[in-house]
Structure 1
Amino acid sequence: MFKSKLLKIAIFFFLTFPFLGIQDVRAAGNFNVTVDRTYEVDTEGLMHVTESHTVKNNSSNLYIPKNSIENFQILTFRIGLDDGGETLERSVATARIFDGSGTEMTFDKEQDDEAFDLKVKYPRDLRSGQSITFKLEYSNYELAEQVGALWDIYIHGFDESFKFTGGNTTTNYNTSLIVPDSLGAENFVNPKPISNTSAGGKTTYKFSQESLIDAFIWTQRGKTQIYRFKIEQEVNSTGENSTGFYNQYKFVIPRDIDGAEIQQKVFYTDISPMPKYVEVDDEGNLIGVFEFGTDFSGKIVVEGYAEVQVIGDIDETVVTNLSDVPQSLNSYLEAAEFWEVDDPDLQAKALELKGNKTNVFNIVESTYQFVVDSIDYSQVKRFGINERQGASATFHGGSAVCMEYSDLFLTLSRAQGIPVRAAFGYGYDSRTPSDEQEAHQWVDVYMPGIDKWVGVDVTWGESGTTLIGGDLNHFYTHVAGENPNTPPMIELLSYGGNPELETPQFEIEVVDSIPSGTDLIDVADLLETYPYVETPFGIGDRVNQVITVAGSLVNEFGVGNTFLTVGICMVLVLGLVTMTSVVKRAKKRKKKDEWG
């Protein structure tokens, strides 16, 4: 999933007038323009915008003639969404323009797919030493949005190529955001404001124009988000008739997370049919194990809620040095498929980014910025053939979606001696329907001093927001330290056929609360209800599992059922004690996942 760069739209400022005079008008400073932008959210969540342009003529020989054009723009936030531009038109319908004395002025409108240009005429000549002010007021129906239990508030920034000085005009932007305290406690504000003050039940943030280059303002109000999830897994039979044997499905069930800044608690409302057991792997992931007769077709359904809370802030001053990383985490420094830590080019770049820095947070920041600056998100790969290519191929120019951003960052960080693991789940986008939310990958970084894992999403850095520390828009399903495919989202051990292995289907949506009276099972209850107990198998269980494993091998290598029967007899003759080694040698089918 890719956090859209659509927020980071260039704000174009046009002074479309002729300069009259005899001197070279290319000299900067002949005209100064001050743009004051104030965005105030009311208690109902509606954004009220005031934007004033004050133009001053500093030239002794040039002037702006009457009827020249001053231009305002109202930009959409919903690029690519099929609402027919209705919300943009609704915002423009509220627009009014005034002169410096408060007299309302007429204006013309021009529309393209992404914006309305509002054009107002100069009512008089603007002579040397004179100034004039135009003020736009309107309500914006897109920039503040309630998402579950949170409020997300945005303000457009400037394109990376935007210049504040051009030709004979210098423009200064002052941007303020006013948010009522009634919308909830501040979770975060990006970028960092130059000031914030609280008075009268409101907080006012002021931002420098430089901080909005290649960035946008995003503040989130609220400390808790609640996700409702539903997972469906198709189960396909491997024969028309009951054989007395079974097919075994294993798939990942959403888990709890206890991070430095973010805590996720999962509650289940329904798991059907019941699992044989639920196991916990070395990373703390939950793996549901389901067994079905070979003639069974249907679905596994897991439903529940995840409560994601902010439990603290990342204090950079508390994070310590590489020398404080415990050796017990050395496994998170190793190379793996797609994580080519030993690649000479990646090693060299990792050392270059590290430089003389020893503080882990500072090294992470440096690596984060490099990854964001050096690769571009590929919409072609996202919607086309999305095969994982790994860190090395990405570093050398391969196309990238979220898994490539994460793989490259993870690999460089491991090469620097920083423990990192992959994190999987959903980066929730409120503009996307619940059944179209895309699987997402980011990373968890271990930071000494804090002594916990810290969520880092490099892909979302493409939107101009550095996301180090996690946020409430990320819903975890599982993490991976050994390699990106362990554990797989779905794994099948089958007998008597070769059924198609479908990817689990997720529906994710945010809600403002868990309905009262809902029967909930937490992770501890789940493990207690469906425990994995290592006990000796009875003879029937041993035979069944041997046959199932053998059936998987038959499916893999295309051997006939007669040969399978002979093989089973040989296994029994050799002794059922060989069961464990047979299971370990079995080649299981796993579904490789695509993470956008």
Structure 2
Amino acid sequence: MLRKIFLFLVLSFMFLVVPKAHADENFDISTNATYKVSENGLAHVTQRVQIRNKTEFIYTPSYAITTGMGDLINLRTYNNLGELPNKVTETKDGGKNIEINFSDKTVGLGRINEFTISFDTNLIARRKGSIWEVNVPGLSDPSSFVQYNITLETPASFGPPTIAKPYRYLSDQGPYSFTKNEIGKSGILILFGKSQYYFIKLVYHIQNSSVVPVKTEIALPPETSYQDIRIEKIVPEPEDTYQDEDGNWLAVYSLAPREKKTINAQVFAHVFAMPIFDLAEPRGSISSAKYWEVNDPEIKKIAQKLETPGKIYDYVVSTLSYNYDKVESKNVRLGASGALKNPDFAVCLEFTDLFVALARAAGIPARSVEGYAYTQDSKLRPLSLVRDVLHSWPEYYDQERKAWIMVDPTWTDTTGGMDYFNSFDLDHIAFVVKGNDSMYPVPAGGYKLSEDTKDVNVAFSDESSFRNIVKTQVLSDFPDYVFPLVSVSGQIIVENQGNMAVKNRKLYVKSDLTPSYQEFYIDSIPPYGKKALYITFNKSPFLTNKSHNITILFEGNSTTEKVLVGFIPDYYLILIGGVIILGSGAVSVIAYKTWSLYFQKRKKQANLRGKGPRS
């Protein structure tokens, strides 16, 4: 992101020295700038400046402009008489200062000194993954100009604009024009491209410090109203993955006593600038929580005055100031109440907490989102949640649009007023959403056993890598045999073995038992997740002796289970029973014969002893 452009005048006077702050009393300054972007992103910038004298005897011998752009190529300064000498020096932050000297004195009331500054730069338009981002710097003091207009021309290959800041409608084809009031201090940001693709590598470090086995879970990047997710790989695989009430995807692992485990995940994200998914109505998103002190008297008082999300957003931006030093310190989370008491000691967490608390106190459902935000300028768009380049921003539920709307008051503050309320961007990737709990779940990048690990790596991707792998397995567990007057009960488990969520599906169960038809709705199963469905059929009459079919239909596939209901088992069981009975009979006969033979021998021996001579 480009730094803001700064303009100032270096003035000297023939008869009167006027302080710099009152330069507008002596001159009217107007600028018409044209930014023409080529196919490769190189922008040709032309600024036509007019300085009109408002007094009779004061003129401008020189003019200076300071820009944050450090790659001024083919710089020219000229007027209708020819080239004007200039001196270029580098600023301490890497920008350029251009000073122009005028050989002719333009003196007299109403006289105009008109000249042109032109140069090429690669810092206006940048290719970012699947999109083009055009960023025209703002003005340090817009009031210094009577008029400042910008015309932006982009090639047809960029496609139609998706997002414009300041927020306004732009036609599919340019050129696009902006006035001084629209440019302001924050400048112009336009995105060309409907969506952005990312490839994310995440590492989670978990351990069990106890002497007993435990189950724990990690948070995977979930689907939100702004992003679609594909879980390409998790090593080792979790036992299960489930979705909580805020839509988070939580993967479950078992840990033996004292066991440590490192988990590697590869994720593809498809991010949109506007909500594209309809999510369920919010639950519990207006209650008080730690850091969201909804019942604090001061917060309630402020919320009653503000009432709307827009007014709350503007209040948070105007009240808090981003503190860059806090990021490098211990960075203790202050919460909403603490942020009001220390407005100059805020980072993204405080901006988010104050918005959430005020919105909830006004009866507006609101939550916190934590994740990754792509930035090329840590001053304009800072990241301050944890060391692994994470960011925090709020979202509120729009009852009319029936959607969660993400906003970023932190970046509006740090960019000098760029609008992140009426339009968002393609730079934010949600790792977790916190609504029911202000502290849980922990986002990826927060599962560390030491601070020196780099656990979040994000790169641009493309549409071809964002594959849809739909694979499910249906398992069923029903008894083979049930007595009459006993309900037939079983369980069906749907496993998601694909890389995307299984959403809004229906599973059907047909049988000649009663009820003969059952329908089950599956709202969402995350990748690596399971959904258990419990099935019950009515009791069969007392004299029933019949085999019943239970057919399960899901996603065009079917499987059938058989259940015997009756007092008499099926032929297989009769065969087994017959074998057991025959075997038992044979053993009994053999045992009897053996015992009988033994008894006869004993008897004969006794008779022989009886016939012997007496002693």
Whether these two folds match at TM > 0.5 is yes
Separation in structure 1 between the aligned mates of residue 445 and residue 330 of structure 2, nearest angstrom: 22
Say which SS state the counterpart of residue 132 (structure 2) adopts: strand
Against the structure 1 CA distance between its residues 186 and 483, is the aligned structure 2 distance closer, same or farther, given a 3 Å change threshold?
same
Instruction: Flag structure 1 segments of 5+ consecutive residues without an equivalent.
Output: 77-87, 315-325, 355-362, 494-498, 536-596
Query: Given that residues 192 and 207 in structure 1 are in contact (C-alpha distance below 8 angstroms), is that contact kept between their aligned partners in structure 2?
Result: no
Out of 176, 189, 195, the position equivalent to 2:151 is 176
Out of 83, 95, 103, the position equivalent to 1:104 is 83
Q: Which residue of 2 aligns with 1:137?
A: 118
Separation in structure 2 between the aligned mates of residue 53 and residue 254 of structure 1, nearest angstrom: 50
Q: Which residue of 1 aligns with 2:393?
A: 442
Q: Which residue of 2 aligns with 1:37?
A: 33
Separation in structure 2 between the aligned mates of residue 107 and residue 234 of structure 1, nearest angstrom: 57
Out of 217, 225, 229, the position equivalent to 2:188 is 217
Report deviation, 1:143.
2.0
Q: How does 1:211-360 map to 2 (within 5 A)?
A: 211-236=182-207, 246-257=213-224, 259=225, 262=226, 264-294=227-257, 296-310=259-273, 329=282, 331-354=284-307
Separation in structure 1 between the aligned mates of residue 296 and residue 51 of structure 2, nearest angstrom: 56
String of CA shifts for 1:92-146, please: whole Å, max 9, x gaps: 2421111125x22332222222332222221212122432322111111212111
Report deviation, 1:518.
9.4
Query: Given that residues 275 and 404 in structure 2 are in contact (C-alpha distance below 8 angstroms), is that contact kept between their aligned partners in structure 1?
Result: no
Against the structure 1 CA distance between its residues 299 and 181, is the aligned structure 2 distance closer, same or farther, given a 3 Å change threshold?
same
Q: Which residue of 2 aligns with 1:531?
A: 530
Query: Given that residues 96 and 104 in structure 1 are in contact (C-alpha distance below 8 angstroms), is that contact kept between their aligned partners in structure 2?
Result: yes
Report deviation, 1:43.
1.6
Q: Which residue of 2 aligns with 1:509?
A: 459
Q: Specify the code of the residue in structure 2 equivalent to 1:350.
A: A
Query: Given that residues 388 and 454 in structure 2 are in contact (C-alpha distance below 8 angstroms), is that contact kept between their aligned partners in structure 1?
Result: no
Say which SS state the counterpart of residue 44 (structure 1) adopts: coil
Query: Given that residues 74 and 92 in structure 1 are in contact (C-alpha distance below 8 angstroms), is that contact kept between their aligned partners in structure 2?
Result: no
Say which SS state the counterpart of residue 521 (structure 1) adopts: coil
Flag the structure with larger Rg: 2
Out of 8, 12, 22, the position equivalent to 1:13 is 8
Alignment pair present for 1:382 and 2:361: no
Against the structure 1 CA distance between its residues 336 and 269, is the aligned structure 2 distance closer, same or farther, given a 3 Å change threshold?
same
Q: Which residue of 2 aligns with 1:208?
A: 179
Say which SS state the counterpart of residue 333 (structure 1) adopts: coil
Q: How does 1:30-109 map to 2 (within 5 A)?
A: 30-59=26-55, 61-64=56-59, 68-76=61-69, 88=70, 91-101=71-81, 103-109=82-88
Q: How does 1:366-377 map to 2 (within 5 A)?
A: 366-377=311-322
Matched length: 470
Query: Given that residues 489 and 504 in structure 1 are in contact (C-alpha distance below 8 angstroms), is that contact kept between their aligned partners in structure 2?
Result: no
Out of 346, 371, 388, the position equivalent to 1:425 is 371
Q: Specify the code of the residue in structure 2 equivalent to 1:70.
A: Y
Alignment pair present for 1:188 and 2:159: no
Against the structure 1 CA distance between its residues 22 and 191, is the aligned structure 2 distance closer, same or farther, given a 3 Å change threshold?
closer
String of CA shifts for 1:432-488, please: whole Å, max 9, x gaps: 899986211112211111111111211121121221254311111221211211323
Against the structure 1 CA distance between its residues 313 and 411, is the aligned structure 2 distance closer, same or farther, given a 3 Å change threshold?
same
Q: Which residue of 1 aligns with 2:472?
A: none
Identical residues among aligned pairs (%) = 22
**More helix as a share of residues:** 1
Report deviation, 1:334.
0.8
String of CA shifts for 1:17-39, please: whole Å, max 9, x gaps: 32347999969554332212211
Q: Specify the code of the residue in structure 2 equivalent to 1:342.
A: N
Query: Given that residues 233 and 504 in structure 1 are in contact (C-alpha distance below 8 angstroms), is that contact kept between their aligned partners in structure 2?
Result: no
Q: How does 1:381-400 map to 2 (within 5 A)?
A: 381-398=326-343, 399-400=345-346
Say which SS state the counterpart of residue 348 (structure 1) adopts: helix
Query: Given that residues 23 and 62 in structure 1 are in contact (C-alpha distance below 8 angstroms), is that contact kept between their aligned partners in structure 2?
Result: no
Structure with more contact order per residue of length (Cα contacts < 8 Å, sep ≥ 6): 1
Against the structure 1 CA distance between its residues 400 and 290, is the aligned structure 2 distance closer, same or farther, given a 3 Å change threshold?
same
Single out whichever of 465-474 and 147-156 deviates more from structure 2. Answer: 465-474
Say which SS state the counterpart of residue 95 (structure 1) adopts: strand
Report deviation, 1:234.
2.0
Instruction: Flag structure 2 segments of 5+ consecutive residues without an equivalent.
Output: 470-497, 504-524, 535-615
Alignment pair present for 1:455 and 2:401: no
Q: Specify the code of the residue in structure 2 equivalent to 1:302.
A: A
Say which SS state the counterpart of residue 466 (structure 1) adopts: coil
Query: Given that residues 276 and 289 in structure 1 are in contact (C-alpha distance below 8 angstroms), is that contact kept between their aligned partners in structure 2?
Result: yes
Separation in structure 1 between the aligned mates of residue 18 and residue 253 of structure 2, nearest angstrom: 83
String of CA shifts for 1:243-278, please: whole Å, max 9, x gaps: 9x6453311011111x3xx3x111122100111111
Separation in structure 1 between the aligned mates of residue 255 and residue 329 of structure 2, nearest angstrom: 34
TM-score (norm 2): 0.69
Separation in structure 1 between the aligned mates of residue 246 and residue 132 of structure 2, nearest angstrom: 33
Against the structure 1 CA distance between its residues 224 and 529, is the aligned structure 2 distance closer, same or farther, given a 3 Å change threshold?
same
Against the structure 1 CA distance between its residues 122 and 310, is the aligned structure 2 distance closer, same or farther, given a 3 Å change threshold?
closer
Against the structure 1 CA distance between its residues 53 and 528, is the aligned structure 2 distance closer, same or farther, given a 3 Å change threshold?
closer
Single out whichever of 395-404 and 465-474 deviates more from structure 2. Answer: 465-474
Q: Specify the code of the residue in structure 2 equivalent to 1:415.
A: A
